[in-house]
Amino acid sequence: MDAIAQGNSGNHNINVEFNDITLLDVVSQNDLDIVLSGDWGSVTAGEEITEGTELASNGDNRLHYTVFSPQGGNKSFSITVQASGFEGQGWTIEVTPNEGNFGNNNSKGNSAGTIDLRNDANSATDLITNIFKISWTGTDKANDGWGLDYVLKVTDFDNFEGGNSSNGVTVTYTIDEV
C-alpha cells in the first residue's frame, strides 16, 4: 500500500476592485419645491425700486453628496447648476452656495460664488469645484453640506414682466469628475 501525503497549507488569490460612487441630493427640512413670492412688505410708500431690488429669498435647501473614487491619481469633482423655464422679463433668480458642516475639509471643495440662474446658468455652470475624490457632506438637513440661498431680484424695471407663477423654473444640479 502506498501512502498518500497531503500538505498542511494551501493558497489562492483574491482580487479586490472598488467601483466609483458619486451621489448628489438636494435636501430640505421643509418642502424641496420653493416659492419666491415678490414680497412688497419690506418696501415703504415712496421707496424707489431699482435694478437689484430683492423681492424674495429662500435658504431652505441644501446640497448633500458622497464621492468615493479610490482609483489612483488626483481626481477631483465639481457640481454644476443649470436652470430653465424662465418666462417674463426684468427679473432673475440668483443662487449662492453657503458652506455648512462637513465630515472633513477635503469634502467641501470651493464655492464659485453667486450664480445668476437666468443669465449665467442656461448651460451647466460650475457651482462647487475641487471636491476631493473621497468626500461626504453628512446627512443633517439643517447644517451639513452646502446651503442654497435663492434670491429673486429685479434686473430691468422698465421692461419688467412677471411669469412662472404656475410653470416654475427648473434648477438641476449635477456632480461629475473633472
User: pLDDT for 61-76, tens place per residue?
Assistant: 999 999 999 887 788 9
CB 56 within 8 A of CB 11: no
**Does 79 have pLDDT greater than 80?**
yes
- Specify the pLDDT at position 101: 94
Average pLDDT over residues 39-64: 83
pLDDT exceeds cutoff 70 at 90? yes
Q: Which three cell numbers stand for residue 144?
A: 451639513
Q: How far are the Cα atoms of 116, 126, 163, 165, 172 from residue 87, in angstroms, in the given order?
A: 15, 23, 5, 9, 17
- pTM, two decimal places: 0.86
